């Protein structure tokens, strides 16, 4: 139990510096609201969906693991709910012709390098206007991804905490240390998948979900 002086000091700091995070805030245990994705294997383990105001990392380590399929599903879901969506396309690879006719609520940022994508993400997260921000780095060269300083993700996490947006970072390997939720895609589709319905494929997506109870904790794994 902290002493009265410590409590007083924390209150004083909170008044003087409203943006300051203190350990007391983290221990409050208040969980952010969630955004249901419509993917049962994601929403059920996460008790409602992707957490708002936190980073979510989707790791696609294997080829043909369904990361583009999942991203498209998230975009559809958000557009279907009349939400604004920003897609920061790290390697200008999004196939928009299969996203539907009305894309008037989609902001597509076509980047050519990881640096550009990170700067764009920084601007959009600071803006705080868009409820869903997707940062796709799956196709970016490994050499560029290795150069991302770890502090970048912590900065993004801090920005996210001030919003109620959902930010999904799609990566080819684990790299977003402060992610509240990490989804590792374990599927491996074959050529026959091209003839099947996307909904059917989405139901078959295998995911390993790790969730931190609170910021700074180790992620706990669950499989779905």
Partner 1 sequence: MFAVIFIPNFSLQSVLRHEPESRGKAVALVDPGMPKPAIVQLTSAARVQGVCEGLTASQATARCAELIIKPRSRAQEESATEVLLQTAYAFSPNIESTAAGVCTMELKGLGLEARGETVDQWAGKIIEVLGQFYLEAKVGFGATPELALLAARSANPILTLQSEQRKNDSAAAIVESFPVSSLEPSPEILEILQRWGICTIGELLALGKDNLAERLGPAAVELFHRVSPDSPRPLKLIAPAEEFSEQMEFEHEIETTEPLLFALRRFTEQLSRRLELIYLVVAEFHLQLGLASGAKYEHVFKIPAPTGKIAILFRMLQTHLETVRADSPITSLRLAARPAKPEAQQFGLFESTLRDPNQFAETLARLTAFIGSENVGTPQLIPSYKPDSFRMTVPEFENSSRQRETKAGRSENSIGLQLRRFRPPLASHIEFREGKPALLRNQVFTGPIVEMRGPFFSSGNWWDSGRWAREEWDVETSDGSLFRIFRSPDGCFVGGVYD
Quick one: tokens of 21? 């995070």
| Residues 95-114 as x/- pattern, contact with partner 1 by CB under 8 A | xxxxxxxxxxxxxxxxxx--
5 binds partner 1 (CB under 8 A): no
55, 169 contact by CB (below 8 A): yes
**Beta bridge mates, 221:** 210
180, 51 contact by CB (below 8 A): yes
At residue 183, the 3 state secondary structure works out as strand
Q: How far, in Å, are 29, 34, 102, 109, 173 from residue 183 at the CA level? A: 22, 15, 29, 23, 11
| Residues 175-194 as x/- pattern, contact with partner 1 by CB under 8 A | -------------xxxx-xx
| Residues 36-55 as x/- pattern, contact with partner 1 by CB under 8 A | --------------------
* Largest interatomic CA distance in the chain: 67
61 binds partner 1 (CB under 8 A): no
145 binds partner 1 (CB under 8 A): no
201 binds partner 1 (CB under 8 A): yes
Q: How far is the CB of 135 from partner 1 (least distance, A)?
A: 14
Residues that bind partner 1 in the complex, under the rule CB under 8 A: 60, 63-69, 71-72, 76, 79-84, 91-112, 116, 119-120, 123-124, 126-131, 138-139, 188-191, 193-198, 201
């Amino acid at each position: 139990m902290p002493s009265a002086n410590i409590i007083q000091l924390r209150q004083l700091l909170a008044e003087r510096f409203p943006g300051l995070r203190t350990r007391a805030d983290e221990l409050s245990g208040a969980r952010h609201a969630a955004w249901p994705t419509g993917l049962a294997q994601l929403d059920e383990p996460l008790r409602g969906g992707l957490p708002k105001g936190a980073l979510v990392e989707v790791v696609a380590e294997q080829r043909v693991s369904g990361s583009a399929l999942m991203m498209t599903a998230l975009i559809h879901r958000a557009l279907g709910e009349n939400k604004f969506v920003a897609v920061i396309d790290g390697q200008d690879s999004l196939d928009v012709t299969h996203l539907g006719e009305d894309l008037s609520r989609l902001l597509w940022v076509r980047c050519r390098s990881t640096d550009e994508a990170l700067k764009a993400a920084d601007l959009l997260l600071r803006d705080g206007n868009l409820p869903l921000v997707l940062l796709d780095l799956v196709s970016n060269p490994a050499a560029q991804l290795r150069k991302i300083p770890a502090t970048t993700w912590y900065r993004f996490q801090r920005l996210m905490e001030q919003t109620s947006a959902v930010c999904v970072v799609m990566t080819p390997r684990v790299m977003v240390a402060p992610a509240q939720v990490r989804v590792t895609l374990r599927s491996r589709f074959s050529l026959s998948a091209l003839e099947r319905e996307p909904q059917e494929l989405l139901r078959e997506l295998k995911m390993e979900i790790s969730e931190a109870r609170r910021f700074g904790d180790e992620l706990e794994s669950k499989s779905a």
